[in-house]
Amino acid sequence: MIKQPLSAQTVIGAFADDGRRRPITAIFLLNIDRHTGPLLAGWVKSGNRIGAIVLPGLQRRPKGSGIGDFRRSLQRKLRLKRYLGDVPVKLIEFGRPHDWDALERQLSGINADVLISYAFPNLIPQRVLAGFRKGGLNLHPSLLPNYRGPHPVHRMVVDGQHLACGGVTLHKMSAGYDEGDILAQVAFSEADWASKQTLAHATAAAFRLLVSDAVPAYCRGALSGMPQPAGDFTWARLEPAHMMISSSMPMEHVARLWNVLGIAPGIYLPTAGGNARLGFQIRRLGAPTGRAPTKRWASIEFDLADGRVVHLTYNRLLKRLVKMHAVMASARLEESRLEIRFFRPSDVSFLQACASHAK
């Protein structure tokens, strides 16, 4: 069962300067991309410091000058230049198998206040978090406690719960996945779900807002957060069945699935010849006909609940069209208007309401 998002006081710029303006030093555990680049820029612009960026998911390789290593190094330099300008940043590769002792040694001389992570797939040992004065914080792309787990955005769209649970939560890291105290949240509007580009833009803006405003407030003692309610909340894991399209689905739902699942991991239509991998809709033909799907070159015609449609199918042409559309759509995006909800232990009535709706 889905619970309503946690209620809290909505505050913008609520934490005034208390005179303690010592820059906060953070270690970031995340990849550098269009979601995280703006938050790194916001952190530095707020007068704080990046002790190091730990890059997860990269395999340790022997030292060398291969083409792959050169390309990765160049991509990092370009992204860092785009978001941080000439600010020097220490980069640490941290791939599998994760050697936490080695990482602790690399971080030991930095004297960082807090660890901030996003999209790291494993629990961070408590001893590592204890090495930071303010522990570890995580950015999770849902309104916790709903949709804990590795695929929150995918699952809430599949379940049709994106408007109720869509957003980003900043929470303390604990011994369980996505279970730590909630510090702040940013909820998404219906307009933020209009396309893959608007969703990415809203996510990046929410990340930057939370890191620039909520993290410093927490590190300076002005924000304490509140525990998550107990209950059996939806665990967000995307299974193959969630990517399948059926004739009972409305067009709007399929379009949103495409916006989120897109080329990877994709959406699929069962046909007599096997599962067809779909692209976006290019035409509506009219009312549903009851006929089986019809394949043509680079497209497929099939019924949905409210009409018979034609979608492109997956191929190189589709990939190029998607890239072109993404570039043009990104150029037209407007500044996101988002608000932070800060959480305090006094918000007990909300906790009780959430707990009462547990499965």
Identity of residue 266: G
Task: Please answer whether residues 314 and 263 qualify as being in contact, where contact means their C-beta atoms are separated by less than 8 angstroms.
Answer: yes
First to last CA, the chain: 6
Higher-confidence residue of 345 and 105: namely 105
- pLDDT, tens only, 118-159: 999 999 999 999 999 999 999 999 999 999 999 999 999 999
Q: Give the domains, in start order, of the chain with CATH numbers.
A: 25-234+334-356 (3.40.50.170), 241-331 (3.10.25)
Rounded to an integer, the average pLDDT of 292-315 is 95
pLDDT of residue 252: 96
Maximum CA extent, the chain:
70
| Rounded CA separation 263/272 (Å) | 22
- pLDDT, tens only, 95-126: 889 999 999 999 998 999 999 999 999 999 99
Task: Please answer whether residues 167 and 143 qualify as being in contact, where contact means their C-beta atoms are separated by less than 8 angstroms.
Answer: yes
What burial class does residue 72 get, using C-beta atoms within 10 Å of its C-beta: 0-12 exposed, 13-18 middle, 19+ buried? middle
Phi and psi based region of residue 190 (left: phi greater than 0; alpha: psi -120 to 50; beta: remaining): alpha
Residue 26: its H or E element: strand 25-29
